[in-house]
Amino acid sequence: MAEASITKRLSAHLNEVYFVFSRLPKQLSGIAKVLTVTYWRDLFTARAQALHEHRQKLLTTLRSWGVRPAPCTCEEASHHLNDLRHTAKANRGMNVVLERAMRSTRKLGTLVRSRLSEAMHLARSIRENELAHELEQLLDMEKDAQSLLQDELQK
């Protein structure tokens, strides 16, 4: 595959991850506001904060690579983010809100980790080793944060 094509795919993946990192914290904060148990509220608030940090790291990484995040259509991510928004606004019991929020968050986490992993491999294929290293660190941070949330919610 030509390097220009690889770079285009790499940029598309990173734009999608940036899209999620930019919008998911607001949705998680909305979920946290409707949860009545402080423990759950704190978990979603902490996850939103972690995503702010991940967004900033990705932005720094993109800038050091010499690009800026670009808009994307991101249909799959938009679908799950809309589910979270509707879940937070609907008049449902806490267990329903929690279950739906976890399902959407899990799917978005899987999407982000998939895109970061593929972007890391694409960066290596065009010998952008520093970028690949930064993406690997971000992928590890994201795995740890999502795992922590999942572990806490399963208690």
Retrieve residue 29's tokens.
């904060």
CATH number of residue 79's parent domain: 1.20.1260.10
Q: What is the pTM of this model?
A: 0.91
Q: How far apart, in whole angstroms, are the C-alpha atoms of residue 42 and residue 66? A: 36
Contacts of 51 (CB under 8 A, 6+ apart): 21, 24, 25, 28, 145
Q: What is the residue range of 97's domain?
A: 3-153
More confidently predicted of 128 and 1:
128
Closest CA to 81 of 92, 71, 89, 93: 89
Please give the tally of structural domains in the chain: 1
**Residue 2 pLDDT greater than 90, yes or no:** no
**Using one digit for the tens of pLDDT, what is the confidence trace for 28-69?**
999 999 888 898 899 999 999 999 999 999 999 999 999 999
